[in-house]
Amino acid sequence: MRLMLGATLILTTLATAAGQASPAFLRAWLIAWLLWLGVALGAFSFLCLAHLVRSRWGVVVGPLLRAATSTIPLLALLFLPIALGLHHLYPWMDTAWLMAGPLRAAKAAYLDASFFLARAVVILVAWSVLAWRLAHARRPRPGLAALGLVVYFLTITLAAVDWVLSLDPDMSTSAFGLAVATGQSVAGWSVVVIAVALVQGRGPHAPLIPPARLQELGTLLFVALMLWGYIAFTQYLLVWGADLPREAQWYVQRIGGDWGVVAWTLVGLHFAVPFIALLMRPIKRDAARLAGVAGLLLLMHAVELVWFIVPSRPQPLGWLDVAVPLGFGAWWVLAFRRILAAGESMVALPAEDIDHV
């Protein structure tokens, strides 16, 4: 863990320097940070659920959930480049721009840099403390898990509005935080499913997860996907149906032109195709095919974040918006693997389900 902490501090320093020199890099860093923080928070939400319901799937993927959740304190440190580059990212840092209209001016007290950073620190510290305690609990902690879920769903609304929606402060919707949270759940569980497919049956002591347990993992992925689709569509329906120009404009930017192609790609590949695939029992009972569906959902979650963030800024989509999330992902996977190796080495199973190679 000390090695990963040192690597994280070095990465933070380099990213801060690069962000100060290049606004395009800083936007790409924001996308990357939100992507992998979302994966860790999605795993955290399922870890809380596992502590509450004490299910078999929680025993199966427990080590993976704990390892992913344990990266949250490290990810919190990587917020520093964003904190030091607010003026490159958020238009409300320009006082003249913020005071140009009455609706924007009404948000001036909330969109204050010091208040913004104070909220971020409180949220990240709360997530880090809860994640660390739950990931290192030696017995089921339903009370702590319930607290974790309550804190998470209350604070994710603030975080989503601050870090994503305030890129375009004219937009406001109360459902955005829940839409982000459900997307994170899909992404976090997708990574867990991919990890299960990669580690099961590897080595003489590695258990092979039976098809019945794989089907449970696939069903949970289906549930998370359905919840995300419902919230995303409901948010669109409410904003579009209200027909308020300042809010509808946010969607107009994202459903016209090239971004309209991305929007329909999200409908098809983030919902329709995985929805049909996860209805099929043979796919959910096969680790490789289930991991393929999970990989598609993780990719589409990244595309969704790009769709959220890039149209709000004047710079067009660039190669950094792809390269930085990939590089950030390599660091996260390394941290995840080292934490997993330092704890429970392989996926554990109930005794009646063990089926060694």
The three state secondary structure string of the chain is: CHHHHHHHHHHHHHHHHHHHHCHHHHHHHHHHHHHHHHHHHHHHHHHHHHHHHCCHHHHHHHHHHHHHHCCHHHHHHCCHHHHCCHHHHCHHHCHHHHCCCHHHHHCCCCCCHHHHHHHHHHHHHHHHHHHHHHHCCCCCCHHHHHHHHHHHHHHHHHHHHHHCHHHCCCCCCCCHHHHHHHHHHHHHHHHHHHHHHHHCCCCCCCECCCHHHHHHHHHHHHHHHHHHHHHHHHHHHHHHHHCCHHHHHHHHHHHCHHHHHHHHHHHHHHHHHHHHHHCCHHHHCCHHHHHHHHHHHHHHHHHHHHHHHHHHCCCCCCCHHHHHHHHHHHHHHHHHHHHHHHCCCCCCCCHHHCCEC
What pLDDT shows up at residue 213? 87
Q: Phi, psi at residue 356, to the nearest 5°?
A: -75, 155
- Residue of 210, 70, 52 lying closest to 145 (CA atoms): 52
Paired tokens of 274: 């995985």
Q: How far apart are CA 162 and CA 156, in angstroms?
A: 10
Q: What confidence score (pLDDT) does residue 345 get? A: 47
Please name the amino acid found at residue 333.
V
pLDDT, averaged per 10 consecutive residues of the chain (357 residues), comes to 70 73 88 97 96 85 93 95 91 86 84 94 97 90 94 95 91 88 97 90 62 91 96 89 80 89 96 96 94 97 96 84 94 92 57 41
- Model confidence, pTM: 0.92
Rounded Cα–Cα distance for residues 19 and 221 (Å): 35
Q: Provide the pLDDT for residue 3.
A: 64
Residue 344 phi/psi, 5° resolution? -80, 120
Residue 172, pLDDT score = 81
Q: Report the b/e string of 286-304 with b at 16+ CB within 10 A.
A: bbebbbbbbebbbebbbeb
How long a stretch of residues is the chain? 357
Region of residue 213 (left: phi > 0; alpha: psi -120 to 50; beta: else)? alpha
Both tokens of 138, joined, read: 């030696």
Q: Are 210 and 353 in contact (CB under 8 A)?
A: yes
Contacts of 147 (CB under 8 A, 6+ apart): 130
Residue 240 pLDDT = 82
- CA neighbor of 17 nearest in space, from 76, 84, 64, 79: 84
**Chain-centre distance for alpha carbon 171:** 21
Cβ atoms 306, 31 nearer than 8 A: yes
pLDDT score, position 108: 87
Maximum separation of any 2 CA atoms in the chain, in Å: 67
Q: Give the separation between CA 238 and CA 228, rounded to whole angstroms.
A: 15
Q: What is the pLDDT of residues 261-304, one digit of tens each?
A: 999 999 999 999 999 999 999 999 999 999 999 999 999 999 99
Cβ contacts of residue 50 below 8 Å, gap of 6+? Answer: 57, 58, 61, 62, 65, 145
